[in-house]
Structure 1
Amino acid sequence: MRLRFLGSTSEAGACPSLYETDRGTIVVQGLTVTDAEAHGDLRHVLPGESAVEVPRELLMEIAREVLGTGGPASRVTDHE
Structure 2
Amino acid sequence: MALHRLGKDPESKNGGSPTVYYDDVSDNYLLQGWKVIDATRLEQLSISAHETVIEFPKRMMQFFPEVRRGGA
- TM band (smaller chain): 0.7 to 0.9
Amino-acid identity (%): 28
Q: TM-score, normalised by structure 2?
A: 0.75
Where in structure 1 do 4 or more consecutive aligned residues deviate above 4 Å?
A: none
The aligned residue for residue 39 of structure 2 is 36
Question: Whose RCO is larger (CA < 8 A, sep 6+)?
Answer: 1
Which residue number corresponds to residue 57 of structure 2? 55
TM-score (norm 1): 0.69
Count of aligned pairs: 65
Aligned residue runs from structure 1 range 1-80, under 5 A: 1-9=1-9, 10=12, 12-22=14-24, 23-43=26-46, 45-59=47-61, 61-63=62-64, 66-67=65-66, 68-69=69-70
Contiguous gaps of at least 5 residues in structure 1: 70-80
Higher strand proportion: 2
Cα deviation for residue 12 of structure 1 reads: 4.0
Q: Any gaps of 5 or more consecutive residues in structure 2? A: none
Distance 2:20 2:35 in 1: 14
User: In structure 1, the residue corresponding to 2:15 is in which secondary structure?
Assistant: coil
RMSD: 1.7
